């Protein structure tokens, strides 16, 4: 199995709890005994959908077609992730209670928001890192102060910190499983006017005492996180973790209608939906608006997943790398907080020691 075949097989497996057509296709492939399970493990873990893959195969009764040793490993990882997610939910409850007690209403985002909204048939499906939530600009600083006063500390213990754009630096409480990303914005300035706190707060839903995004804005953010913030649109790639969220959310809301209100964001989001439609096997709930832009995007997307233009992809990745650093350099000359951070960084002996250690241990 090449990368494209592996990617599409995993994607189809992720839909079999809802899609009978794909369930039959997956069964035929499993019975053919032609699945490269090493490739499946590699790709599904790199896309953070390994537990979701196991959960869907188990619900369909397909584990008997998988090597026993692999099934045991999948179950082990999934059980670990289930326990971690239960702890994340418990931690989110404590944060929610603390902030609401102080008349602050957080809106939980991304994986944590989806767990709290009970999007998944099994909480073990979603791999979650940090607990993300967004606050109004009026509550932002006060909420951070309250969290510090209640035992949260900086993850990176330094006397200076990089000025983050969308969220506060990561903080974590001792013995808690996850760090927090406290947002005041959701994406870069270019698109800020179309998707921000003022817009998403108008139609939030309250589920079991938690404020979470509407299903349409959940879907929008799932795409934005990959296409815009992680440059997926530029690189013509897909994140199966985000795509799986979009698939599940497409069962809750009309996917292609979620972003017709946007101007700048409409094409990147519609293109991601087109990629999902192709990758998951042309599922009705993932139908997109066909345009010249989506046709061009899919052509380039197919080229990437077929392993063509690898050099071009590497060049694009380098462009992003240097662009980010150019922006930082620009801000060092124009913004006081960036200059302060930069001066502290170059005067920090520990930073040089870390770089030297990393260089000496590079293989």
In angstroms, rounded to a whole number, what is the distance separating the alpha carbons of residues 135 and 117? 18
Map tokens 């209640």 to a residue. 150
Residue 70 has pLDDT above 90, yes or no: yes
Residue 362 has pLDDT above 70, yes or no: no
pLDDT of residue 105: 95
Residues 212-235 have a mean pLDDT of 90
pLDDT classification of 134: cutoffs 50, 70, 90: very high
8 Å CB contact between 338 and 163? yes
Percent with pLDDT over 90 in the chain: 67
Highest mean pLDDT among 76-85, 220-229, 346-355: 76-85
Q: Compare 334 and 46 and report the one with higher pLDDT.
A: 46
> For position 363, what pLDDT does the model report?
47
pLDDT at position 335 = 78
Kindly report which listed range (16-30, 73-87, 309-323) carries the lowest average pLDDT score: 309-323
Query: Which residue from 214, 216, 203 is spatially nearest to 261, judged by alpha carbons?
Result: 216
Q: Do 204 and 212 meet the contact criterion of CB atoms below 8 Å apart?
A: yes
pLDDT for the residue numbered 76: 97
d(CA 162, CA 96): 27
Cβ atoms 287, 246 nearer than 8 A: no
Which residue intervals of 102-149 are DSSP H helices? 110-116, 137-149
For the chain, the C-alpha Rg in angstroms (whole number) is 22
Which is more confidently placed, 312 or 222? 222
Averaged pLDDT for residues 339-347: 73
pLDDT > 70? residue 353: no
> Residue 207: its pLDDT value, please?
94
pLDDT of 28: 94
What's the pLDDT tens digit per position in 89-103? 999 999 999 999 999
Residue 68 to residue 82: CA distance in whole angstroms: 21
**pTM more than 0.85:** yes
- Give the Cα separation of 128 and 298 in Å (integer): 29
Measured CA to CA in angstroms, residue 298 lies from 14, 111, 167, 226 at distances of 21, 27, 32, 16
Instruction: Give me 360's structure tokens.
Output: 């000496």
Confidence of residue 298 (pLDDT cuts 50, 70, 90): very high
- On the question of pLDDT at 323 being above 90, the answer is no
- Mean pLDDT of the chain, nearest integer: 89
């Amino acid at each position: 199995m090449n990368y494209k075949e592996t990617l599409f097989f995993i994607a189809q497996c992720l839909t079999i709890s809802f899609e009978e057509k794909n369930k039959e296709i997956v069964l035929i492939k499993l019975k053919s005994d032609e699945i490269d399970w090493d490739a499946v493990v590699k790709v599904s873990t790199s896309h953070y959908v390994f537990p979701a893959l196991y959960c869907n195969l188990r619900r369909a009764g397909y584990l008997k077609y998988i090597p026993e040793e692999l099934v045991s490993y999948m179950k082990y990882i999934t059980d670990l992730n289930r326990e971690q997610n239960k702890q994340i939910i418990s931690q989110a409850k404590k944060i929610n209670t603390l902030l609401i007690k102080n008349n602050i209403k957080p809106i939980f985002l991304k994986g944590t928001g989806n767990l709290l909204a009970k999007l998944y048939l099994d909480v073990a499906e979603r791999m979650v890192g940090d607990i993300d939530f967004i606050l109004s600009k009026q509550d932002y600083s006060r909420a951070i102060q309250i969290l510090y006063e209640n035992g949260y500390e900086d993850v990176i213990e330094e006397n200076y910190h990089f000025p983050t754009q969308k969220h506060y630096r990561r903080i974590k409480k001792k013995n808690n499983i996850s760090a927090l990303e406290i947002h005041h914005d959701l994406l870069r300035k270019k698109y800020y006017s179309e998707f921000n706190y003022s817009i998403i707060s108008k139609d939030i839903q309250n589920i079991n005492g938690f404020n979470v995004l509407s299903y349409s804005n959940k879907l929008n953010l799932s795409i934005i996180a990959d296409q815009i913030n992680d440059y997926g649109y530029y690189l013509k790639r897909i994140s199966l973790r985000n795509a799986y969220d979009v698939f599940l959310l497409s069962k809750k809301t009309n996917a292609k209608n979620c972003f017709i209100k946007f101007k700048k964001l409409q094409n990147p989001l519609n293109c991601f939906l087109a990629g999902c439609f192709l990758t998951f096997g042309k599922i009705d709930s993932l139908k997109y608006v066909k345009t010249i832009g989506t046709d061009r995007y899919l052509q380039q997307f197919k080229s990437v997943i077929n392993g063509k233009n690898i050099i071009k992809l590497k060049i694009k990745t380098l462009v992003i790398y240097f662009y980010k650093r150019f922006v930082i350099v620009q801000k060092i000359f124009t913004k006081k907080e960036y200059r302060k951070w930069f001066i502290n960084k170059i005067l920090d002996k520990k930073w040089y020691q870390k770089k030297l250690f990393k260089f000496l241990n590079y293989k």
